[in-house]
Amino acid sequence: MNINKRNIWIAVLLAPVILIPLAVAGLYLYTSATAPLLHPDPQAVPSEMRTPPARQWTAAVDQGRQAVRAALTEQNLPGLSVAVGAGGDLAWAEGFGWADLDEGMKVTPDTRFRIGTASIVLTAAAAGLLMEQGKLTLDDEIQTYVPAFPKKPWPVTIRQLMGHVAGISNDGGDEGPLFATRCEHPSEALTAFAARPLLFEPGTAYRHSSYGWILLSAAIETAANESFLTFMRNQIFDPLGMENTRADPSTAAAGGRATSYFPRFAADPKYGYHPMRPLDYSCYAGASVFVSTPSDMVRFALAVNGGKLLRPATAQLLQTSLRLPSGEETGYGLGWDLDTATLAGEQKRLAGHDGDTLGGMISSLMTFPDGLVVAVTSNISYADTRAVGLKVAEAFAKPQAKSAKK
């Protein structure tokens, strides 16, 4: 009798150990078997281009186009849009795949996409403009502009907020409390995080914080003496001809905007998709609120790095890595992510920003020396837009390298 009871208890204890992995494996097999292949043939991926590229870029565009189509198939993405800046101008812009699967709406170069946290790089330019106008000072404490933010055990400065070293906590990713809230001004979002303690003494560690950039957006609004979104439109978007860059309307496919999707399993589009739940990004302000096109993002980057929007010294400041007290570089400037990439067999400096929505990548902006700029957007989270962008950059680096040697 005792032996039987022992065997029963052993079976009860072992059952979860055996059944849970079996259930996960079964779910994996089910989702793999039932996941729709959105683009089984890369060569059959629909695409649309407004203006043919100049002859000097034809070979690069052909190579880039093949890389984009392959990515759509390999990652099982609904749609991608790509733009490249070279020689000081927009060299190529093309949309691939579907902006809306149910409606059969194709991606075009003018299709708007959520760019997620890549919004930060646009917001950094707003801070740069205000710095040049003497209205915003990097080492001022945040309370100078946002007195509603409570004092912490250590001072929190504008510079620290912009460099993600302020110790401000981050949102909850796909469970962030602000997605169901409407904000007319960035300061209205402070109730979600202002009372939280700092995670560390500012300046001593690096940790990404969307809340920090909401707080910075509130400071920009005060310094500009007008609403944050109005300042962005009047001082950056309209002057640069960024006609398709605006605040997220939070309605699917509104005004030529791509419908947003989310992987249905394992944070991987390969296992299928479902429409992303309704989200309101208004409270996220400069941390994530914008929709845009790769063409607009390229125009922006060309203007920043070409001295048309900011003074060269300001752009350099934004794109210079901060250092921790240990001397270690954070690999992040003031709103710009900094890295290196191998292009045409050479290590190149990369300054840009990837954009996440609900924890997954949906956009990438990258700039390189010699004026090369690449922007990629997708309408599903956990798309590896960065890998696509690097392949496109490699295609365009080759003709640039050849022309430079002549």
- DSSP string covering 313-376: HHHHHHTS--B-TTS-B-SB-SS-EEEEEEETTEEEEEEEEEEEETTEEEEEEEE-GGG-EEEE
At 254-302, the pLDDT tens digits run 568 999 999 999 899 999 999 999 999 999 999 999 999 999 999 999 9
| pTM of the complete model | 0.90
**Helices 294-305 and 119-132 meet at what angle, rounded to 10?**
30
What would the two tokens of residue 241 be? 């001809």
Phi and psi angles of residue 266, each rounded to the nearest 5 degrees, phi first: 55, 25
State residue 249's pLDDT score: 75
Condensed to tens digits (0 to 9), the pLDDT of residues 122-179 reads: 999 999 999 999 999 999 999 999 999 999 999 999 999 999 999 999 987 666 789 9
Q: Tens digit of pLDDT for each residue in 35-93? A: 789 999 999 999 999 999 999 999 999 999 999 999 999 999 999 999 999 999 999 99
Q: In the predicted model, what is the mean pLDDT of residues 187-201?
A: 97
Residue 220 near residue 136 (C-beta atoms within 8 A): yes
